[in-house]
Structure 1
Amino acid sequence: MKLAGLKTVSNAHGESIWAVTWAPATASRPAKLLSGSLDESVKIWSGDELEEEATNTGHSLGVVAVAAHPTVAIAASTSLDSFVRVFDVDTNVTVSTLESPPSEAWNMRFHPKGDMLAVAGGGSATVKLWDTTSWRTDVSLEVPKGEGTNTKSSEKAGGKFVLAVAWSRDGSRLACSTMDGTIAIFDVPRAKFLYNLEGHYMPVRSLVFSPTDSRILFSASDDKHIHMYDVDNKSLICAMSGHASWVLSIDVSPDGLAVATGSSDRTVRLWDLSMRSSVQTMTNHTDQVWGVAFRPTGSPGSRAGRLASVSDDKSISLYDFT
């Protein structure tokens, strides 16, 4: 497996870019790339050319996360203004605006079937589940302190501040990560907390389940490590290291054979999961890398894999993944 740089857009936004995702392809168009920035905007880009197609505005503070619906051409963005804005990717028209209390809207992900949007609740120590038909929040999953809390880290980092969320492939389980390094696992149909996964001792800012195995969860932490967990067995499969500083973002390839990570050491790394080690380091960016995202499969006319990365340097880089 290998990454090859295709294109970098400098000054893609007016400020740091903290979020990136792909809006899946439809029958009439390829996948589109979405980027969110501290300049308060979300931009929509053509997939391979990285040409700007539209800018979505409306947030009054910086955008911290973007998420795309798996089957419908809508996306959502969260901001430091504590609003979640839902918009149509093709028309750029606002669909809904969801309000949260201050500091209670961070990373988010749509359910694999698209019927719920999970939003990390920050200081509320919860994950809010929004119904994507009514755009009302019917369920709030509370992250308990638990016996396994990393006490020293909690005191320093603010305790159960929920940073990131991830759905299992079958949608039955939800993982959320916190500032103290623990990862909480929930049974979503029963709205029940199951247990914590431990091993990290600093904030875990990014999570992703394998697209090919609902048991496998990957995490990226400020402790410079990437963890691979077996959620069913509550066990750590392996810990991978190589970055020189915080690991801020992680995504897994559509075939489940590789992960990519972005770090405050200004690099993007590709990891071979069969070897459980880093096989390539990309140095396109000149500042910390806040987001990495593999393009979903099934894009009309696309013959190769793609990976995108975004950074505090205001740039977006696109790579060929083979």
Structure 2
Amino acid sequence: MVEPIAKKSKVEATVAGGNIIIQFQSTSGDLTGSQLDLPTLVTPSQLETLLNGLLENEEKLPYSFHIEEQELVGELGEHLAKHSISVEKALVIVYQPQAIFRVRPVARCTASMPGHSESVLAVHFSPDGKQLASGSGDTTVRLWDLNTQTPQHECKGHKNWVLVVSWSPDCCFIASGDMDGHVWLWDPKTGEPLGQCHGHKKWITSIAWEPAHVAYPCVRFCTGSRDNMVKIWNANTRQCVLSMSNHQMMVTAVKWGGEGLIYSASRDCSISCWDATDGKLVRVFKGHGHWVNTLALSTEHVLRTGAHDHTGRAPSDPEEAKAQALQRYQAATSGLPERMVSGSDDFTMFLWTPSTSKQHVARMTGHMQLINQVQFSPDGRWILSASFDKSVKLWDGLKGTFIASFRSHVGPVYQVAWSSDSRLFVSGSKDSTLKVWDLRTRKLKVDLPGHADEVFTVDWSPDGSGVASGGKDRVLKLWRH
């Protein structure tokens, strides 16, 4: 018992004594500037000013600071004493750039929009945040006007439940997939059908578009299906460009990465990586002991929004738009390879750097039941996992280490969605509620009851203006601050 007491008294003495040697370090491990001798009363805002000076930023940027995985929110000395952190060596303070804008937490339901006659299974905001599409068991896709919060277009063509709805990154197409294996394309401006893609024989489980920084306008997208196949389509011709298959069971998720690779997860417990140009198999990732349910990429937010910034604006010139999308993608990766996380029925998750290695970075355990969804934060710093064990867990997006559990739901958590500034997230559950959580305090920010039954799907608008949710009660709800 001598050591902990001695260590604690040493920390308290240092805090009382006044000064600490610190060393700034970026999240990628690079040291910034030389060691500094600072008073223990220094605050995050003072560290921010100091760091901006060291980095010679012309415009002051916001940063968060972490010491041994814990975010610094008050005075440095208090933080060290609270967490009993040793200061015998130079204290490493890891800094992380934050979004220069802030999204306000949603706090109330501003619209309950009936119209669907069966469960709402998918809601998806457009990349510019100006429109919303929903897919339902009533075989329709609906488009909603977010200004008037009223129905805009009813898209008819599907003959079976619509399971997936996905916008192209340039906002020019909506693709939807159903239980018959049919994919329809729609014009977002008029709601008119642009045609049907035939080829899959069973349910469409997932749709992903080619990134805007690779091809603009965006015309190619891929689909995953219960027929074990992954297909790439041309949205203009509605023709299948490539078919890929090595899975022994249904494909549960597809993601089109920013490095020219497509990833597919399957119930055969594996994840496959494909070359998007010729459809060749690049590598296979193994490790899960049961069905792989869900995939997420660290770059997903910028891939989804393409050339659109946090206000929803994008250049009108295609070349400029493609250049801006590339600039946003490069800023999101900033020297780090694209990361992928997978979640499974075996209660575990794996973190990968899929373009460079087929070995996992980390195996993440802690959930007591199957993992329904995983999501990277828009800045790539964090991972959320939603589980049937009624909890949401937070993980480090670089190392895969466990950070915190969020418990308040009384039913399985189906989906989570991040705010575009990576400071808040919302969860939707079988218990018919949505809950908004604060990442910094790790606490429940707002409880949002209102749905009459299970909440199957949630999405947070890329421009931060609001959250959409849908579920078994057939009503689509909009939530705003």
Give the secondary-structure state (helix, strand or coil) at the position aligned to 2:164. Answer: strand
The alignment-based identity, stated in percent, is 23
1:14 deviates by 3.3
Corresponding position of 2:231: 128
| 1:249/1:88 CA distance change after superposition, 3 Å | farther
* CA distance in structure 2 between the aligned counterparts of 1:73 and 1:23, rounded to whole angstroms: 10
| 1:111/1:5 CA distance change after superposition, 3 Å | same
> 2:341 is matched with which residue: 207, 214, 218?
218
Q: 2:277 matched to 1:189? A: yes
| 1:109/1:32 CA distance change after superposition, 3 Å | same
* CA distance in structure 2 between the aligned counterparts of 1:120 and 1:291, rounded to whole angstroms: 19
Corresponding position of 2:122: 19
Corresponding position of 1:161: 250
Code of the aligned partner of 1:16: S
Superposition CA RMSD, Å: 3.4
Corresponding position of 2:95: none
| 1:84/1:220 CA distance change after superposition, 3 Å | same
Code of the aligned partner of 1:227: F
Higher helix proportion (structure 1 or 2): 2
C-alpha contact (below 8 Å) 2:199/2:240 kept by paired residues: no
C-alpha contact (below 8 Å) 1:224/1:241 kept by paired residues: yes
Segments of 5+ residues of structure 1 without an aligned counterpart are 145-158
* CA distance in structure 1 between the aligned counterparts of 2:388 and 2:475, rounded to whole angstroms: 15
> 1:295 is matched with which residue: 461, 468, 478?
461
Code of the aligned partner of 1:108: I
With 268-277 and 195-204 compared, the bigger mean Cα shift is at: 268-277
| 1:315/1:277 CA distance change after superposition, 3 Å | farther
C-alpha contact (below 8 Å) 1:272/1:278 kept by paired residues: no
Corresponding position of 1:245: 369
Code of the aligned partner of 2:118: E
Corresponding position of 1:142: 245
Corresponding position of 1:109: 208
1:311 deviates by 4.0
Code of the aligned partner of 1:122: R
TM-score (normalizing by structure 1): 0.77
* CA distance in structure 2 between the aligned counterparts of 1:83 and 1:235, rounded to whole angstroms: 35
**Cα deviations by residue, 1:180-216 (Å, 9 ceiling, x for unpaired):** 2210011222321022112222222322211134521
Give the secondary-structure state (helix, strand or coil) at the position aligned to 2:139. Answer: coil
1:17 deviates by 3.0
Corresponding position of 1:156: none
1:141 deviates by 1.3
C-alpha contact (below 8 Å) 2:113/2:150 kept by paired residues: no
Corresponding position of 1:62: 161
* CA distance in structure 2 between the aligned counterparts of 1:229 and 1:24, rounded to whole angstroms: 26
1:5 deviates by 4.7
C-alpha contact (below 8 Å) 1:267/1:289 kept by paired residues: no
C-alpha contact (below 8 Å) 1:143/1:160 kept by paired residues: no
**Cα deviations by residue, 1:9-56 (Å, 9 ceiling, x for unpaired):** 76854333332322111xxxx432322222222233355886543332
| 1:92/1:250 CA distance change after superposition, 3 Å | farther
Q: 2:378 matched to 1:254? A: yes
Higher strand proportion (structure 1 or 2): 1
* CA distance in structure 2 between the aligned counterparts of 1:137 and 1:55, rounded to whole angstroms: 26
Corresponding position of 2:449: none
Corresponding position of 2:359: 235
| 1:217/1:312 CA distance change after superposition, 3 Å | farther
* CA distance in structure 2 between the aligned counterparts of 1:229 and 1:67, rounded to whole angstroms: 25
Code of the aligned partner of 2:263: A
* CA distance in structure 1 between the aligned counterparts of 2:283 and 2:169, rounded to whole angstroms: 27
Tell which structure's C-alpha radius of gyration is larger: 2
1:76 deviates by 0.7
Code of the aligned partner of 1:129: I
* CA distance in structure 2 between the aligned counterparts of 1:203 and 1:78, rounded to whole angstroms: 21
> 1:87 is matched with which residue: 181, 186, 189?
186
Corresponding position of 1:97: 196
> 1:78 is matched with which residue: 150, 170, 177?
177
Corresponding position of 1:178: 266
| 1:272/1:289 CA distance change after superposition, 3 Å | farther
TM-score (normalizing by structure 2): 0.53
| 1:184/1:290 CA distance change after superposition, 3 Å | farther
1:121 deviates by 3.2
Segments of 5+ residues of structure 2 without an aligned counterpart are 1-97, 213-217, 300-331, 410-427, 433-453
Give the secondary-structure state (helix, strand or coil) at the position aligned to 2:205. Answer: coil
1:62 deviates by 0.7
| 1:130/1:50 CA distance change after superposition, 3 Å | same
Corresponding position of 2:295: 207
Counterpart mapping for 1:265-280 below 5 A: 273=397, 276-280=402-406
